Amino acid sequence: MIVSDIAYTRMEDGVLTIGLAPPTAVGGWAAQFTVLKRFGGVSGLINKFTSSGYSNVSGIQVTSSGNGIFGVTINSYDTSGLDPGAYVYQFSRTTSGSYDVLSEGYFLLTD
């Protein structure tokens, strides 16, 4: 698992690039990006998904299938109701029978 913090400016549109280490082929994977109030939280404040065979349907796009690189779209409205501060994120593989947290860390939201 990769542990990495993300700094993000509130009310801005952007794309986060998340890459797996070592590079891993991700064809056929389903994935989820979630921002939570704290580690172990169950209700996501920001939720993005993708499924096998679909790209950027709900905010995640596979940008390099052979190297395990994803783009996660964060829209201004995703952060509009959140106060600046420290949240946490998890990026997980959610393919049926293969749930794994691939990356997690703090999601630092600033004005």
Contact status, residue 31 vs residue 50, Cβ threshold 8 Å? yes
Determine the pLDDT at residue 55. 62
Dist CA 17 CA 96 (whole Å)? 24
Answer whether 0.95 is exceeded by the pTM: no
pLDDT at 2: 83
B/e letters for 11-45, b = 16+ CB within 10 Å, e = fewer, are eeeeebebbbeeeeebeebbbbbbbbeeeeeeeeb
pLDDT of residue 52: 72
C-alpha to C-alpha distance for 1 and 93, rounded to whole angstroms: 11
Could you list the pLDDT tens digit for every one of the 111 residues in the chain? 788 999 999 999 999 999 999 999 998 899 999 999 999 888 899 999 998 766 666 899 999 999 999 999 999 999 999 999 999 999 999 998 999 999 999 999 999
What's the confidence (pLDDT) of residue 58?
A: 85
